[in-house]
Structure 1
Amino acid sequence: MESEPVPLLTSTDGPPEHPAARLRRMIEDPNAFILAPGVYDGFSARVALGVGFEALYMTGAGTTASRLGRADLGLASLPDMVANASTLASLSSTPLLADMDTGYGGPVAVARSTEAYIRAGVAGLHIEDQVAEKRCGHLGGKRVVGMGEWRARVRACVAARRRAGSDIVIVARTDALQLLGYQSAVERLRVAREEGADMGFLEGVRNEGEMRQIVADMFPWPMVLNMVEHGVTPRVGRKKARSIGFRMVIWPFATLGPAYLAMREGLEGLKREGEVRLPVECGPRGIFEVCGLEEDIRVDEEAGGEAFRGV
């Protein structure tokens, strides 16, 4: 089945709503709740769009795995991340929240990174307080920068957004919980809020009580929950997360994990039996339709082209 782009919301007073403006409106609505699957490339994003999610999340771990074939140890560069973000954001008007890691340097670099994400068309980004030699937030041994450097990172993001005249949503993520404890993590989130970040993100929440506490301590500032299965955070479903008070839940491995299992099973079958047995919807036509085949043919025909007639 072809995945149709989600239409832009329109206003009688102006042009179609930009995805960043839509994401901002969604997180500011106390009655709204956003469930965003992690996507790591154009195909996984197309599948998620076809299912009908109202927002997508570009996972840094998935980007590193898919583009570099490496573990999430801060190895993906700004060009790696921006290239992937641009691809994902270009597929539809559905808001995309994208991982921006540590910002890739000092304040000038953070500002440059923010500008690059804005140009890429993402609706939101999250920046964190780990040191440059960062790692997945659900691995051990994390280290974080000092409060002054953290404040400067957030301030640089906000200033870059202002200069660009953008609505991009800035999410402040702290990884201080593991190393410095809960109160220090809360203090860092409060600093980010003071500097103009739009949403908070406490990485590595350890139990449901801590989930409820952070939502209460930061209220009414909207909070995002990172649901990494088999990480340090216990699994919480959509209904529970919403009842706790989170405004958004991201599932970074929602496409990467199933893709790994399916690819491994298929390849093991090929090695064992010498063939791959796929259902008809996985043939060329079916896969290409997921990737917008019919839409591309229609665009060509409407322009008077005949290159793809009869495809």
Structure 2
Amino acid sequence: MAQMRSATKLRQILADPDKIAVCPGVHDGLTARVALHVGFDALYMTGAGTAASRLGQPDLGLTTVDDMATNAGMIAGLDRNVPVIADADTGFGGPLMVARTTEKYILQGVAGFHIEDQVTTKRCGHLMGKELVDTATYVARIRAAAATRERMGSDIVIIARTDSLQSLGYDESVARLRAAIAAGADVAFLEGMRTKEQMAQVVKDLAPTPCFLNMVGGGVTPLVTSTEAKELGYKIVIWPLVGMTSVYLGMRELCRELKATGEVKERYTDDGKIDGGVRDCFEMCGLTACSEFDKKMGGTSFTSGA
């Protein structure tokens, strides 16, 4: 099955001492296509970006499991050879709902996902005032995900995220992650770290469990390069806002230009070709591959070109 292959690939990265999964955050088909075109080995579907792109809303727990799973499945389906790690928020409810969420993510071909210990009406991990469930409730979520994975014969990677550092402190956060690992989580994710010393310490304290690092521009965690993350011992590092920030900044710039001047001037590459024209976008999304497949199968839709 396709989802088995992508999850297995992610597990191979986690098991290789020389590798780290560096994942740009994508939120729709276009941003995912760009990341694939550049050549990343894994992608991250951001929940914040999904909320912004699908709903036009902030990351305040407004997305449903169907919003998230459908978006993750679309992204994962663009290239089954590239693992997609997806945000699954809190699992969207109690153990029964977490089981349903896990099943949906498996069927959509997601390679890995993270579940956190916030209340169902959650918020971005780099906002203030987060509310948490107790450890038993959190562990029940992880246990439900692991049991569903076993029932379905999947090897999807379960990532346990805790947002407890802000209110409960480091020791309690590590205790929660250890409990989640004992319940079946494969990877540990301490959100909202504020120092590089903390970033290094949690990897040591949770060894040999692989650790996950979240690099949010404008957030509370110090930003490090992927090389530095690897040296600290992390196995997965995500830059979740790459897609959302690029769309926000690029769209804002071009809209301001159109509003001020009444036009959007063409951009050019160094060799004088139009950059970002309609055909460029279509080609990146598979225009030639689609037309060639149609011809190969005996279709006639593109015999005159596309």
Q: How far apart in 2 are the matches of 1:278 and 1:198?
A: 48
Q: Could you tell me whether the CA contact under 8 Å between 1:222 and 1:246 is conserved in 2?
A: yes
Residues 251-282 of structure 1, C-alpha deviations (whole Å, 9 max, x = no match)? 00111111111110000000000001132232
For the 8 Å contact 1:281–1:287, the answer to whether it is kept is no
Q: Establish whether residue 36 from structure 1 lines up as the match of residue 23 from structure 2.
A: yes
Identity %: 52
Moved over 4 A (4+): 14-17
**8 Å Cα contact 2:3/2:107 also seen in 1:** no
Residues 16-74 of structure 1 show CA distances to partners (whole Å, capped at 9, x for unaligned) of 97111110111122222110000000000000000000000000000000000000000
One-letter identity of the residue aligned with 1:298: E
Taking structure 2 as the reference length, the TM-score comes to 0.95
1:227 is matched by which residue type in structure 2? Answer: M
1:160 aligns with 2:148: yes
Matched residue, 1:83: 70
In structure 2, distance between residues paired with 1:57 and 1:50: 15
Q: Distance in 2 between matches of 1:251 and 1:308?
A: 39
- Determine helix, strand or coil for the equivalent of 2:59: coil
Q: Does 1:184 align with 2:172?
A: yes
Task: Tell me the residue number matched to 2:257.
Answer: 269
The 5-angstrom pairing of residues 1-311 of structure 1 reads 18-93=5-80, 94-279=82-267, 280-309=274-303, 310-311=305-306
**Unmatched segments (≥5 aa) in structure 2:** 268-273
The answer (yes or no) to whether the contact 2:212–2:235 under 8 Å persists in 1 is yes
Number of positions where the alignment pairs a residue of Structure 1 with one of Structure 2: 298
Amino acid of the structure 1 residue aligned with 2:276 = C
CA contact (8 A) 2:2 2:109 kept: no
Quick one: which amino acid aligns to residue 216 of structure 1?
K
**Alpha-carbon distance in structure 2 between the residues aligned to 1:17 and 1:154:** 20
Question: What do the CA deviations read for 1:204-263 (whole angstroms, capped 9, x no partner)?
Answer: 011000001100000111001000011010111111111111111000011111111111
Give, in whole Å, the separation in 2 of the partners of 1:182 and 1:16. Answer: 35
Q: Distance in 2 between matches of 1:161 and 1:292?
A: 33
Equivalent position amino acid for 2:187 in 1: M
Q: In 2, are the aligned partners of 1:39 and 1:62 still within 8 Å (CA)?
A: yes
Work out the CA distance in 1 between the residues paired with 2:153 and 2:243: 33
Q: For residues 258 and 284 of structure 1, what CA distance do their matches in structure 2 show?
A: 18
Per the alignment, residue 3 of structure 1 pairs with none
Residue matched to 2:271: none
Which structure 1 residue ranges, 5 or more long, are not aligned?
1-13
For residues 165 and 73 of structure 1, do their structure 2 counterparts lie closer, same or farther at Cα, with a shift above 3 Å needed?
same
Q: What's the offset of the Cα at 1:283? A: 1.9
Q: Which amino acid aligns with 1:28?
A: A
CA distance in 2, matches of 1:44, 1:146: 36
d(CA) in 1 for partners of 2:213, 2:277 = 37
Distance 1:43 1:16 in 2: 21
Counterpart secondary structure, 1:18 = helix
| In structure 1, C-alpha distance between the alignment counterparts of 2:2 and 2:112, rounded to whole Å | 20
Structure 1: distance between partners of 2:266 and 2:98: 45
Aligned residue identity for 1:105: G
**What is the CA-CA distance between 1:120 and the residue it aligns to?**
0.6
Shift of 1:15: 9.8
